[in-house]
Amino acid sequence: MNINKFDKLLRVIIKHYRYGSATHRSFATLFLPPTFEVFALGNKTYEHYNEVGLYVDHRLEQLGATRVFELGLGDDDANIEDDFITWKDKFWPTVCEFFGIEGAGEDVSIRQYQLTEHNDVAIERIYTGEIARLHSFKNQRAPYDAKNPFLAPLKVNRELHGKNSGRSCMHIEFDIEGSKMRYEAGDHLAVYPVNNIDLVNKIGEKCGVDLDTVFTLTNTDEESTKKHPFPCPCSYRTALTHYLDITGNPRTHILKELAEYCTDSQDKEKLKLMTSTSAEGKAAYQQWVVQENRNIVHILEDIPSLKPALDHLCELLPRLQCRYYSISSSPKLHPTSVHVTAVVVEYKTPTGRVNKGVTTSWLKEKHPSDPPCLVPIFVRKSQFRLPTKVSTPVVMVGPGTGIAPFRGFIQERDLAKREGKEVGDTILYFGCRKRDEDFLYKEELEEYIKNGTLTMHNAFSREQDHKVYVTHLLEQNKDELWRVIGEQNGHIYVCGDAKNMARDVHNILLKVVMEKGKMAELDAATYIKKMDSQKRYSSDVWS
């Protein structure tokens, strides 16, 4: 939705509130101005931090709505829940005072779902395995999306790193023949993971529950459209394996609920402290949960007296979300398969534990088989697109797995060249640690260079005494960069780390426009914003 349509929607809401039928509101509030309060969600890593929230807050006030409480800004690069709780603790008393409502004091914990354990459900009516993701017992039909992912056979899983790397990066191909799935180079592939069986078993062990018990959680609010938190009935094992996030850092509201299950007073006070909004409590949570990277399994292990009801834990834990990967293939070359490039995440925490990425560690063990190994996937459309005209030159900056979407781009440009079309310069800046260890798709890229499709600048950061990154090479090649974006109206693409690399590229771009375009800083910034609005400067980044 563009900003003009969004603004029109806000005006319609205000107008409806003021002049709509009294059947929609009590007569007492019919002629009062609408009230509002806004808490915005954003991430300081990105340029337009909380821009929508800021706009809504300002525009509602302009349209005559009455602000009840100050704007809240949440930063997901830090601790967005902490931001919200700090804001909420001041928000509720203000709202109660504004409307003359008597506050209830301390938060009261009320269970949202009612537990039913089953002994007699027909096995074919129990959600389990891949069915857990389908939300249906019927055959799959397109279109495929978050609620109806396609169970794709895995057809290729090969290692991209050299034998001396010490790390792992997978090239994975999924078979989508006959599925009617459509994708374009630059789109994202969503993959639904499965939790590690050892972690699941530990939760059952710590809670003292038979994980094969079949249960249902039913919403106690009869008017709610969400009857169950996830497809039920299912076993606790299925819920913990397919539905619930058991590897993330639990939020403070979860710890607050769990504290009540501690039989040791010191354990209880420890958890309650970390849920408080005091400086000491925030610091304790940040250190013990975030910095030491504890998930729910670690917390159950490290708080011996904590024995929560497993059904309550299933209610509290967030849903296991799909993971998105930049598609690393072009449908013009690979119409019946979709490829992704993924580094296997594995690291040691300050407590000495080894944490593993949910999706990549699961996929690492998946290989082509008969019957086929099925993975739930769907395509998320992106605005990360090649120019319409293949004659338009492009510069692509993608260190590490940032190369993924550019592999698809290069495939399309190479195909166009082989079809006899006039193809503009295709320039890639790729970086890795060492050429013999983690130079992804080395042979493919060298073949594209050999046939004249690709120009590549490589940064091998650890092959010399001082670190060399793609941003260093980009800065050295200011003339080439300006020729593409300034003289030939070309495009520049950035894929990878948002916090450092993408920000550095933006700053270099600003310098190049100022120096080569002979512009003042303000004019150069305007020039880059115009490139952005024209889709000539595109980013696919993550923090």
| Annotation marks residue 495 as catalytic | yes
- Distances from the Cα of 57 to the Cαs of 54, 95, 205, 369, in angstroms? 5, 17, 48, 54
Q: What 3-state DSSP class applies to 491?
A: strand
Contact, 428 vs 492, CB < 8 A? no
Instruction: Encode 124-188 in three state secondary structure.
Output: HHCECCCHHHHCCCCCCCCCCECCECEEEEEEEEEECCCCCCCCCEEEEEEECCCCCCCCCCCCE
Alpha helix ranges (H) inside 419-469: 442-450
* DSSP-assigned beta bridge partners for residue 114: 218
Q: How far apart are CA 405 and CA 411, in angstroms?
A: 10
> Quick one: CA dihedral 491, 494, 500, 503, positive or negative?
positive
Nearest 5°: phi and psi at 48? -95, 60
| Annotation marks residue 540 as catalytic | yes
Q: How far apart are CA 463 and CA 155, in angstroms?
A: 35
* Active-site residue (options: 179, 235, 326, 330): 326
Nearest 5°: phi and psi at 217? -110, 120
Cβ neighbours for 71, distance < 8 A, ≥ 6 positions apart: 37, 38, 39, 40, 53, 54, 57
Contact, 43 vs 11, CB < 8 A? no
| Annotation marks residue 542 as catalytic | yes
Nearest 5°: phi and psi at 154? -80, 120
Q: Residue 220 is inside which H or E element, if any?
A: none
| Annotation marks residue 497 as catalytic | no
* Active-site residue (options: 179, 288, 495, 539): 495
Active-site residue set: 326, 495, 540, 542
